[in-house]
Amino acid sequence: MAQESSPMAMRQVKTVADVDLSGKRVLVRVDFNVPIAEEKVTDDTRIRAALPTIEFLLNRSAKVILMSHLGRPNGQKNLKYTLRPVAQTLSSLLRRPVLFLDDCIGQKVLETIDELDEGSVVLLENLRFYGQEEANDAKFAAQLAKYGDAYVDDAFGTAHRAHASTVAVPKLLPIRVAGFLLAKELEFLGAKTSHPERPFVVVLGGAKVSDKIAVIDALLDRCDSMIIGGAMAYTFKLALGESVGKSLVEPDRVNDARRALQKAQEKNVKLLLPVDTLCSDGLNVEKRTIGATQIVDKDIPDGWEGVDIGPKTVRLFGKAIAAAKTILWNGPVGVFEIPESARGTYAIAKFVAESKAVSIVGGGDSISALNSSGYAKDITFISTGGGASLEFLEGKELPGVMALQVK
Ligand code: AMP
């Protein structure tokens, strides 16, 4: 089929809105991998993110069977990683009972599901209590598949993993569609960055070139300007022959940086690097201390390391962001854990939030900067993806998405 081989970003998967799920038993893979302390959910963002799909199914009188992983129990039943507290939070958000089952497979689970009324919500226990989940085991998947007449994937964060609940289960069910959250991730990270409104400005930060080089390479084919900040920028500075003092660099990635600079030139992409740098002589992230600081324009002196972009760079990056019609931002441009070296990252958050462009933000640190500065509400789309977002932007096929029906 022509569609099956279309590039990942172009793949138009069916969603819950494209199929008739009324009254059906719908097995939904969600990402309820949330932080829990003292048996209480401490951040319900991921649970809230799944509500539109769950509510849509309930409005159609479906029987909703939710499955997720939580943490890394390594294939063992370990109650430290139970999903029970999630059921309570979900129940109060939905304002209706959520039946928690203390296992995800077995006769008892099957019988309970067989007797469900329309409009019921069930949450299964942590899938990763069984090693077969991550092993994409066919027998384990067959047991899970028995609970559903249809499969919905709304867990973008695990779509890059071929696990039983993301790949083997959907293959066994006749209806296999995306939930609204997954569909939105695919729309924003796929279509909106493949056919962006231009200028398309990409802002990348973070610690390592090695983590982002594939994304840099893929996005250089699509964007008009690329801003590189964070420790990554110093490996690029090395490639340009500048001194970086004792900044965090990856000497074995200098060639990659050089190739990216060359590609940017060939593709006529403006690649912007910091023109000034806040340097420190005594950074200690764990102790949250920074020592003495100074701002330098170009070369970073011996004994000093770059910890944030300087004020001229803030203005330069701000101007590029203000001109954008589409913005993709992933990663902090400095050591944002320490207030003295967080200014650059907060300035980026403000520029992106104030822009009228389609803004797409991913990566835990960028999102946390947006949340703590109150700008999250001004962003068009915040990706929940992490590793999956980067792989998708790189143009890789995501096994969880490949398992779904196309339009
Ligand atoms: P990543 O996980 O690759 O997005 O990187 C995030 C981390 O990069 C954060 O913990 C930041 O503290 C770190 N980072 C950003 N800029 C710098 C820098 N100039 N020097 C050292 N670490 C940095």
- Ligand 1 atom showing the smallest separation from residue 335 Cα: 12
What is the per-residue pLDDT for 386?
A: 80
Question: Measured between alpha carbons, how far is residue 301 from residues 279, 296, 305, 312, 340 in Å?
Answer: 9, 9, 8, 18, 19
Active site residue: 24, 25, 29, 46, which one?
A: 46
Peptide bond into 199 cis (omega under 30): yes
Residue 19 pLDDT exceeds 70:
yes
Q: Quickly tell me which residue has 């059921």 as its tokens.
A: 87
Residue 6's pLDDT band (cuts 50, 70, 90):
low
Structure tokens at 75: 């294939």
**pLDDT-derived band of residue 5, with 50, 70 and 90 as boundaries?**
very low
The span from the CA of 280 to the CA of 359, in Å, is 32
Please confirm, yes or no, whether 46 is among the known catalytic residues: yes
Provide the total of helices (H) and of strands (E) in the chain, helices listed first. Answer: 16, 17
Residue appearing with tokens 């959250």: 181
User: Which SS3 state, helix, strand or coil, does residue 248 take?
Assistant: coil
Instruction: Using the predicted structure, report yes or no on whether residue 9 has a pLDDT greater than 80.
Output: no
For 310-359, what is each residue's pLDDT tens digit? 999 999 999 999 999 999 999 999 999 999 999 999 999 999 999 999 99
356 CB neighbour count, 10 Å cutoff? 9
Any residues with Cβ below 6 Å from ligand 1, and which?
205-208, 211, 230-231, 248, 306-307, 331-332, 334-337, 363, 365
pLDDT band at 385 (very low <50, low <70, confident <90, very high): confident
Is residue 75 flagged as an active site residue? Answer: no
Separation of CA 18 and ligand 1 centre (Å): 42
- The amino acid present at 69, given as its one-letter code, is H
Q: Whole-angstrom Cα distance, residue 148 to residue 85?
A: 24
With tokens 């296999």, the residue in question is 176
Of the candidates 403, 399, 13, which has an alpha carbon nearest to the alpha carbon of residue 173? 403
Q: Can you give the pLDDT at residue 387?
A: 84
75 in Cβ contact with 140 (< 8 Å): no
Mean pLDDT, rounded, for 374-387: 91
DSSP type of residue 136: T
pLDDT > 60? residue 301: yes
Mutate to test the pocket of ligand 1, among 335, 366, 383 (most ligand atoms within 8 A of CB): 335
Structural domains of the chain sorted by starting position, each given as residue range(s) with its CATH number in brackets: 16-185 (3.40.50.1260), 196-383 (3.40.50.1260)
The predicted-structure confidence for 65-87, as pLDDT tens digits, reads as follows: 999 999 999 999 999 999 999 99
Q: How far apart are the CA of 40 and the centre of ligand 1, in A?
A: 30
Distance 73 CA to ligand 1 centre (A): 28
Give dist(CA 379, CA 356) in Å, integer: 9
- The secondary structure of 329-359, three-state, reads EECCCCCCCCHHHCHHHHHHHHHHHHCCCEE
Residue 316 alpha carbon to ligand 1 centre in Å: 20
From residue 74, how far is each of 141, 167, 333 by CA, in Å? 18, 19, 34
Active-site option among 14, 60, 77, 208? 208
11 a catalytic residue: no
List, in sequence order, every residue forming a beta bridge with 359; answer none if it has no partner. Answer: 327
Active site residue 192: no
Calculate the CA 279 to chain-centre distance: 30
What confidence tens digit (pLDDT) does each residue in 176-235 have? 999 999 999 999 999 999 999 999 999 999 999 999 999 999 999 999 999 999 999 999
What's the rounded Cα separation, in Å, for the pair 277 and 231?
A: 11
Ligand 1 mutation pick, 304, 317, 365, 368, max ligand atoms within 8 A of CB: 365
How close is the Cα of 208 to the center of ligand 1, in Å? 8
Burial 244-258 (b: 16+ CB within 10 A, else e): bbbbbbbeebbebbe
